[in-house]
Amino acid sequence: MSAYSLRHYGEDTHRLSDPHVIVEHYTETRTAQEAWDTFAPDVPDNEFHELPNTCAHFLVEGDGRIDQLVPLTERCRHTTGLNWTAIGIENVGLSDGEILSDRAQMRASLALTRWLQCRYRIALRNVIGHNESLSSPYHHDRVPAFQHQTHSDWNRTDMNRYRALLARLPCPAGTD
């Protein structure tokens, strides 16, 4: 990850410090196991064929179970242009709409995101969907092929719904 950060951000470090952004994703899989099987092997990713493999800090399942895959002090590859400063949350499912309509999953996803947002003092506008990555003020990448690259997961309309729900939650005790 240090080598990736040096190539893409000009920073020779794998450490995530003072994160400014939280990015919501969905796995495009039915199960957490399938997502894990994508992330776990130490091989180049299948889109850019680059190391380290893609990953996310958290997986949120349909029943509300949350698995942490990567420590919050480490960078990982989930959003081109933002991996230097973004925490990644993968919601297990096949579409924004499917996750938005799953009450248990949404309760867990929102509670996790709110806790992270309060703990790191991340503004609501910096809780974004992967599809909103290019308009983030924190987005940058030194590699031209990566500068306009994003994915379709969590568009603005669905993230506006997500952010509206998030804004109603209080900060959990101990995060203020």
Which residues make up the interface to Zn ion (CB under 5 A)? 25, 130, 151, 153
Q: Which is nearer to Zn ion, 132 or 153 (CB)?
A: 153
Structure tokens at 138: 């924190």
Q: How far is the CB of 165 from Zn ion (least distance, A)?
A: 20
| Residue 53 near residue 39, CB atoms below 8 Å | yes
Q: How far apart are CA 44 and CA 111, in angstroms?
A: 32
The dihedral over CA atoms of 35, 79, 128, 141, expressed in degrees to the nearest 10, equals 180
Q: Which is nearer to Zn ion, 126 or 174 (CB)?
A: 126
Q: Which is nearer to Zn ion, 57 or 130 (CB)?
A: 130
Contacts of 15 (CB under 8 A, 6+ apart): 73, 74, 75
Q: How far is the CB of 46 from Zn ion (least distance, A)?
A: 14
Q: How far apart are CA 98 and CA 136, in angstroms?
A: 25
Q: Which is nearer to Zn ion, 78 or 114 (CB)?
A: 78
Q: How far is the CB of 56 from Zn ion (least distance, A)?
A: 8
Q: How far is the CB of 176 from Zn ion (least distance, A)?
A: 30
